[in-house]
Amino acid sequence: MKASIINRSGILHKALLAIFVFIMLASTIEGYTKGLFLFSARWQLIGYLWIFLSALVLILFISSFLKFWKKIEGLVKYWLGKLPHLRSLSLIIFLIILILYPILTFGGLSKHFAGYFFRLSVLWLFALVGCFALKSFYRRESIKTLFFVALMFIGVSYQIANYFRFLSDNPFSLGWSEGSRYYYASLPFSQTLYGLELPLSFMHPSRYILQAVPFLVNGLSIAVHRAWQVLMWIVLVAIGVWGLVRRLQTEKSIYSLLFFAGGFLFLFQGPVYYHLMISAILILWAFNSKKFWKSAALVLLASLWAGISRINWFPLPGILAALIYVLEVPFNTHRDSWKILKRPAGWIAIGLLASSSAQLAYIPLSGNQSFKDFGTSFTSDLLWYRLLPNPTFPKGILTGILMLSSPLLLLAVVFFTKNYKKIHWSRMLFIISALILFFGGGLVVSVKIGGGSNLHNMDAYMLLLLTLGGYILFSKLSLDKKASNSKGLTISPFLCLLLILLPVFWALASWAPFPTLDKEKLQEELACINKTTARITQRGGNVLFFSQRQLLVFNYVKDTPLIPDYELLTLMEMSIAGYEDYLSQFHDDLRNHRFDLIVGYKQYIVFKEAQDVFPEENNAWVKNISVPLLRYYTPITWLRYTDTEIYVPREPTELN
């Protein structure tokens, strides 16, 4: 990222002031319309302060067009130059800001931060303080640059803190499927934990391999397992982005930090799942475009991992390696461009072969009897309407990803428009083809029933686009040597603002207060489950946990043998895929009262309409799971706090 992009733009500071005016006015209006500034006498004072700040910023914005503005800028620069070199104090102040902002937004005052523009206005003010603190470290950098860095890193701290809601010792599932993940992660240790040799998961094997790591130490609590998963979310994405920063070898550390923070926030808006980052990390950190066989070995390893991850990631390691090669190697060093393309073609072929082989090898090694279970992705319905804004994902998959990636796409368009004569056509063709391939593939996977609630299936496209954007921003995309020397890319202030601000603004839109738990109620409901299951198991009965199975994994429910069949995620996958053999067996087991007790979420016989969230998934579940379950079993206890219900077989007279 060239310094001239940020530092030498006369328009940029006016644009920042204009945005600040809008944010302050919007947050003031929001505060009064939602009653925030009428909440108490203290908040009324804050409301008056917001009105004053809005007026002050508006005056500054108008003044920026007047002649004496340069004198104001000169005075600011003069006094900034007089700031003492209190590096330790400045660092402490900046760290306090990074910690304080998420505490305010998610802590005890979180209910006051429900308004998006109020969160944004506080972020903007904190970033202003943060940029002055950073000035002690970066004396030669402009306030605008340091403001962007402060803004980005406060956004990063907010994004990280948003995942801290999962740091909980609640024995019950924190979300619909959260508890199920720990059950599937425990399967490699099933003999030790359950006394059974169980097959491994046919869904997302690589994710559960990583989640299984804490099971290497016996007796760790669910809180430790949750902390491990949060750590993987944060650290693996950070390592991947830093690997890209390291490849770019930027001249100034301040721009490395800025790109790192922006890349981190960008990937989290998918989000790119942590287990998929392993493949990317191997390539970004160790790939060498000059060493074919070393790079081929890396592609092989990364592709083996991708092969047990997700099908649309099968070609990613090879194509990512090929993309880096195409970006780094000018094609006019050889007369025949096809000779150069042999290397990337080889890596792609090796990657596809390795990932496909890994998937085929995993199927029998996992212990699963049915190969058909691994093909649910190919038989599920495609819900194309989710490409556009809809109740399940209000942004829409297509519209959302275009919005999120528009700054990087515009950057690429501007660059290639200005340099298309300096880059061999085959290089541009490969870059465009790779992006289109993963863009289209991500859209198809996203609209599969069961998905489409966020952009996480667009992850491979996002990773490739971020890589391309980094090479363009830092002028690391090698132009063909026959072309005249380039003076670097000049980016408009508008595009600069989009590149920096959009990831932050997008991240701030994701907000919910941290849940407060009534531990007494949790223990009461846990005791009720233990008491009820004990009565059944003492007389040799079978107890099925189709959800909340983590209660067995972590021994919250005592002396209850695991029945591995019919777990929540598998039931849902088979239900939306319409696997009649599996569902028929489930219905037969219910009809024959195979289970003396069933524990799971309360079942609601509610068929949703198109205007509801996840209507197709809900209706498939109700039809295939809820209705048969309630036909042959009756609820005896509803644990309202966790929405868990206990079922027993219906009497013969009820079945007629």
Per-residue pLDDT tens over the stretch 537-587: 999 999 999 999 999 999 999 999 999 999 999 999 999 998 999 999 999
pLDDT for residue 486: 52
pLDDT for residue 400: 97
Per-residue pLDDT tens over the stretch 607-636: 999 999 999 999 999 999 999 999 999 999
State the average pLDDT over residues 349-377. 86
CA distance 7 to 4: 5
Report residue 488's pLDDT band, with 50, 70 and 90 as the boundaries: low
CA distance 617 to 614: 5
Q: Among 224, 204, 201, 199, which Cα is nearest to 214's?
A: 224
Choose between 132 and 447: higher pLDDT: 447
Displacement of CA 602 from its chain's centroid (Å): 29
Helix (H) or strand (E) holding 601: strand 597-601
Is there a contact between 518 and 641 (Cβ–Cβ < 8 Å)? yes
State the average pLDDT over residues 191-210. 95
CA distance 415 to 49: 44
Residue with tokens 């019950």: 172
Cα four-point dihedral sign 60, 64, 66, 72 = positive
Is there a contact between 641 and 522 (Cβ–Cβ < 8 Å)? yes
Q: What percent of the chain has a predicted confidence (pLDDT) above 90?
A: 76
Per-residue pLDDT tens over the stretch 10-24: 688 888 999 999 999
Helix (H) or strand (E) holding 559: none
pLDDT for residue 3: 42
The reply to whether omega before 199 is within 30° of 0 (cis) is: no
Residue 638 tokens read as: 């509803």
* Radius of gyration over every alpha carbon of the chain, rounded to an integer in angstroms: 28
Is there a contact between 173 and 547 (Cβ–Cβ < 8 Å)? yes
Displacement of CA 237 from its chain's centroid (Å): 9
Phi, psi of 634 (to 5 degrees): -120, 140
CA distance 364 to 370: 9
Choose between 64 and 559: higher pLDDT: 559
Per-residue pLDDT tens over the stretch 306-354: 999 988 899 999 999 999 999 999 887 555 667 778 899 999 999 999 9
Q: Among 246, 429, 401, which Cα is nearest to 322's?
A: 429
State the average pLDDT over residues 175-185. 95
Flag the least confident range among 7-21, 68-82, 194-208, 457-471.
Answer: 68-82
Cβ neighbours around 381 below 10 Å, total: 14
CA distance 145 to 258: 9
Residue 443 tokens read as: 């859209």
pLDDT for residue 224: 98
Say if residue 515 is exposed, middle or buried (CB neighbours under 10 Å; 0-12, 13-18, 19+): exposed
Q: With 50 as the cut, is the pLDDT of residue 84 above it?
A: yes
CA distance 405 to 458: 10
Residue with tokens 């067995």: 552
Q: H helices of 366-508, where?
A: 376-379, 397-419, 425-446, 459-473, 493-508
Residue with tokens 């931060």: 113
Q: At what angle do helices 253-268 and 459-473 cross, to 10 degrees?
A: 160
State the average pLDDT over residues 147-155. 96
Report residue 162's pLDDT band, with 50, 70 and 90 as the boundaries: very high
Q: With 70 as the cut, is the pLDDT of residue 371 above it?
A: no
Q: H helices of 34-68, where?
A: 41-63
Per-residue pLDDT tens over the stretch 413-428: 999 999 888 888 889 9
pLDDT for residue 43: 93
Q: With 70 as the cut, is the pLDDT of residue 443 above it?
A: yes
SS3 helix, strand, coil % of the chain, rounded to 5?
70, 5, 30
What is the total residue count of the chain?
656
CA distance 373 to 4: 55
Choose between 336 and 393: higher pLDDT: 393
CA distance 259 to 241: 9
Cα four-point dihedral sign 181, 187, 189, 192 = positive
- Across the chain, mean pLDDT equals 91
> What is the DSSP code (8-state) at residue 448?
B
Q: Among 427, 412, 554, which Cα is nearest to 478's?
A: 427
**Residue-range domain boundaries for the chain:** 3-165, 293-486, 519-655
CA distance 335 to 345: 18
Q: H helices of 107-221, where?
A: 116-134, 143-162, 178-186, 190-194, 205-211
Report residue 492's pLDDT band, with 50, 70 and 90 as the boundaries: confident
Four-point Cα dihedral 44, 48, 50, 53, nearest 10: -160
Residue 461 tokens read as: 């496209």
pTM across the whole model? 0.94
State the average pLDDT over residues 187-195. 96
Q: What percent of the chain has a predicted confidence (pLDDT) above 70?
A: 93
Q: With 90 as the cut, is the pLDDT of residue 408 above it?
A: yes
State the average pLDDT over residues 205-212. 97
pLDDT for residue 281: 98
